[in-house]
């Protein structure tokens, strides 16, 4: 084998260059065009357009990918947008109109503030809605802006623009806020493919919701938040899986006081996003109902009738036959009470996950009162989450009941008040006082976390969140 003049063997000089380090490999650009197109579609409009500068491979994707148009601003009288937020997402009327008229790819999602439906902005909105680019629109959201729309009187809420009606056949997701939907309008709508519907702070006469649901044959998720004009809503829906309700009476007038689920054979989740008003709930037929909450005696009373079971208050649970379908339960309790929880566990004997948020501790001594309870009840509880935990004697008595009796327990999570110094010594003391070493389920995990989540027990910010298997599990 010969050498070159510099003494380096020829075979060695012919060896290929080593591969680049892993950090320099562009794995994303090696994905198929279909997947890259989906990535571009999920980005806000301006950021999606900027992907053209990433590489030659990305340049045609922007032109072919379905658009995701989101307007964050307030329309001025001249049609431009007074943007409040990230200036990099500023899209004025001319830009949106130009994109809709020149982009060859269809629009998949259009999200605009609800006050664009006001008469002085209606022409600009109508120009967008009649664009051929929206012929196959899947997501249409008129969302409310708290810093502006809440200043509008209920009487000034307009109806949805007539041009919306031509979009309904293709919609999969729809949100209507700060508008008036009359019975006549509801009867003219038809959503053959709609799976998610949110009605937020809208003026809805008594039978409007029922009329809309009758025209949504495949609806799965329904969010009713802060609506006025109707004191009772009746639900008859063959495929609905999740219902979330937020009662709000701050605007005055008729607000939701009663929810009647007459026939929902596929319903799995029945939720209150924030229990800030009294609400009566009657469930006649929902054999698959697994998730229930938040029940409350703190911010407003939830009166629940579920089959033969009646919950008039948290400490007043009556039933002739146990409800075996419910596996996840969440409630607010003014005073942490073991008696309340045991009543619930007798009513819902298949309960597996329990979320509790309390304001103070009550009397939870149980060793005499419930000494033989475990011999007569098959506890199936697997997960317990307790918020606002302080480590008081009442709370320790409450928790030790489950530590000593729940043989299927997998985890206990305590969200500790921020004012408590949660160091190693404090946690060790808690383990000792809670008798962790004597736990019935040797595999049970005990976890303490700082209570830094400002969300409610129910983590539902939009109708999309209703698809979560457990809406009480903190995702922050």
Least confident of 192-206, 223-237, 354-368: 354-368
Please determine, for residue 242, whether its predicted confidence score (pLDDT) is greater than 80: yes
Q: Taking a C-beta distance cutoff of 8 angstroms, is the pair 358, 333 a contact?
A: yes
Please determine, for residue 125, whether its predicted confidence score (pLDDT) is greater than 60: yes
pLDDT tens sequence across 153-200 = 777 788 998 899 889 999 999 999 989 999 888 888 899 999 999 999
- Give the strand pairing for 221-225 and 173-177: unpaired
Torsion angle of the four alpha carbons 170, 228, 280, 212, in this order, in degrees rounded to the nearest 10: -20
Which residues, in sequence order, are bridge partners of residue 74? 82
363 vs 158 pLDDT, higher one = 158
- pLDDT score for 152: 65
CA 283 – CA 305 distance, rounded (Å): 6
Please determine, for residue 270, whether its predicted confidence score (pLDDT) is greater than 60: yes
Count Cα neighbours of 349 within 13 Å in the Cβ-side half-sphere: 10
| CA geometry: angle 115, 120, 123, nearest 5 deg | 95
Instruction: State percent of the chain over pLDDT 70.
Output: 81
CA 174 – CA 40 distance, rounded (Å): 22
Q: Residues with Cβ < 8 Å from 383, sequence gap 6 or more?
A: 352, 353, 354, 409, 410, 411, 412, 413
Please determine, for residue 80, whether its predicted confidence score (pLDDT) is greater than 70: no
pTM: 0.85
pLDDT tens sequence across 460-472 = 889 999 999 999 9
- pLDDT score for 344: 92
Q: In whole numbers, what is the pLDDT of the chain averaged over residues?
A: 82
Stretch 97-122: mean pLDDT: 82
194 vs 135 pLDDT, higher one = 194
- pLDDT score for 146: 58
Please determine, for residue 325, whether its predicted confidence score (pLDDT) is greater than 90: yes
Please determine, for residue 64, whether its predicted confidence score (pLDDT) is greater than 70: yes
Which helix (H) or strand (E) is 404 found in, with range? helix 393-405
C-beta neighbour count of 239 within 10 angstroms: 14
DSSP assignments along 86-128, one per residue? -GGG---HHHHHHHHHH--SPEEEEEEEGGGGSGGGHHHHHHH
Ranges of each domain in the chain:
329-476
Grade residue 75 by pLDDT with cuts at 50, 70 and 90: very low
The DSSP letter of residue 329 is: E
CA 233 – CA 246 distance, rounded (Å): 13
Which helix (H) or strand (E) is 47 found in, with range? helix 45-50
Count Cα neighbours of 88 within 13 Å in the Cβ-side half-sphere: 7
- pLDDT score for 447: 92
CA-to-CA separations, 168 to 89, 107, 172, 474, in angstroms, rounded: 27, 14, 9, 34
CA-to-CA separations, 228 to 77, 255, 300, 368, in angstroms, rounded: 29, 5, 17, 50
Grade residue 455 by pLDDT with cuts at 50, 70 and 90: low
Q: Which of 5-14, 345-354, 456-465 has the highest mean pLDDT?
A: 345-354
Stretch 85-104: mean pLDDT: 66
CA 241 – CA 180 distance, rounded (Å): 26
Q: Which of 341, 407, 337, 404 is nearest to 371 (CA)?
A: 404
Q: Which of 313, 307, 310, 283 is nearest to 295 (CA)?
A: 313
CA 447 – CA 424 distance, rounded (Å): 12
Q: Which of 100, 103, 112, 178 is nearest to 139 (CA)?
A: 112
pLDDT tens sequence across 210-220 = 999 999 999 99
Q: Residues with Cβ < 8 Å from 32, sequence gap 6 or more?
A: none
SS3 call for 163: helix
CA 239 – CA 289 distance, rounded (Å): 13
Which helix (H) or strand (E) is 38 found in, with range? helix 33-42
221 vs 308 pLDDT, higher one = 221
Location of structure tokens 């729309």: 149
Please determine, for residue 25, whether its predicted confidence score (pLDDT) is greater than 60: yes
Length of the chain: 476
Please determine, for residue 438, whether its predicted confidence score (pLDDT) is greater than 60: yes
Stretch 8-34: mean pLDDT: 66
CA 103 – CA 108 distance, rounded (Å): 12
Instruction: State percent of the chain over pLDDT 90.
Output: 32
Where does residue 267 rank: exposed (0-12), middle (13-18), buried (19+ CB within 10 A)? buried
Stretch 128-145: mean pLDDT: 88
Least confident of 290-299, 306-315, 401-410: 290-299
pLDDT tens sequence across 370-427 = 666 655 466 789 999 998 888 888 899 899 888 988 889 999 999 888 778 888 899 9
Question: φ, ψ for residue 77 (rounded to 5)?
Answer: -65, -30
- pLDDT score for 324: 93
Q: Taking a C-beta distance cutoff of 8 angstroms, is the pair 451, 415 a contact?
A: yes
Q: Which of 335, 328, 326 is nearest to 307 (CA)?
A: 326
Which helix (H) or strand (E) is 176 found in, with range? strand 173-177
Query: Which stretches of 371-476 are assigned E, i.e. beta strand?
Result: 383-389, 411-416, 445-450
Q: What is the CA radius of gyration of the chain?
A: 28
């Amino acid at each position: 084998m010969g050498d070159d003049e510099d003494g380096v063997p020829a075979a060695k000089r012919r060896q290929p260059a080593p591969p680049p380090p892993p950090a320099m490999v562009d794995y994303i650009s090696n994905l198929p065009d279909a997947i890259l197109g989906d990535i571009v579609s999920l980005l806000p409009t301006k950021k999606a357009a900027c992907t053209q500068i990433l590489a030659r491979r990305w340049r045609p994707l922007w032109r072919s990918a379905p658009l995701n148009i989101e307007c964050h601003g307030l329309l001025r009288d001249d049609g431009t947008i007074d943007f409040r937020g990230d200036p990099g997402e500023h899209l004025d009327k001319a830009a949106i109109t130009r994109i809709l008229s020149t982009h060859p790819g269809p629009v998949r999602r259009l999200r605009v503030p609800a006050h664009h439906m006001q008469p002085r902005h209606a022409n600009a909105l109508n120009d967008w809605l009649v664009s051929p680019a929206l012929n196959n629109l899947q997501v249409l959201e008129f969302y409310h802006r708290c810093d502006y729309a809440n200043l509008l009187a209920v009487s000034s809420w307009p109806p949805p623009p007539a041009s919306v009606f031509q979009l309904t056949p293709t919609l999969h997701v729809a949100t209507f806020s700060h508008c008036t939907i009359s019975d006549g309008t509801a009867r003219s709508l038809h959503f053959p493919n709609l799976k998610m519907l949110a009605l937020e702070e809208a003026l809805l006469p008594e039978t409007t919701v029922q009329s809309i649901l009758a025209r949504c044959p495949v609806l799965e998720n329904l969010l009713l938040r802060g609506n006025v004009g109707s004191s009772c809503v009746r639900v008859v829906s063959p495929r609905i899986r999740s219902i979330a309700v937020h009662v709000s009476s701050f605007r005055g007038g008729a607000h939701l006081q009663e929810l009647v689920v007459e026939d929902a054979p596929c319903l799995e989740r029945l939720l209150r996003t924030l229990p800030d008003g009294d609400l009566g709930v009657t469930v006649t037929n929902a054999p698959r109902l697994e998730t229930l909450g938040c029940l409350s005696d703190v911010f407003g009373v939830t009166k629940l009738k579920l089959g033969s079971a009646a919950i008039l208050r948290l400490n007043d649970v009556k039933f002739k036959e146990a409800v075996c379908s419910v596996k996840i339960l969440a409630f607010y309790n003014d005073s942490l009470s073991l008696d309340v929880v045991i009543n619930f566990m007798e009513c819902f004997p298949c309960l597996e996950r329990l979320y509790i948020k309390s304001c103070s501790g009550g009397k939870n001594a149980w060793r005499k009162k419930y000494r033989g309870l475990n011999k007569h009840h098959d506890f199936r509880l697997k997960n317990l989450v307790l918020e606002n935990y302080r480590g008081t004697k009442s709370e320790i008595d409450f928790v030790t009941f489950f530590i000593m009796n729940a043989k299927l327990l997998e985890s206990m999570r305590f969200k500790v008040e921020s004012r408590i110094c949660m160091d190693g010594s404090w946690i060790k003391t808690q383990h000792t006082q809670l008798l962790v070493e004597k736990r019935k389920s040797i595999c049970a995990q005990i976890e303490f976390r700082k209570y830094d989540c400002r969300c409610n027990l129910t983590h539902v910010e939009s109708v999309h969140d209703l698809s979560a298997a457990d809406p009480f599990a903190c995702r922050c």
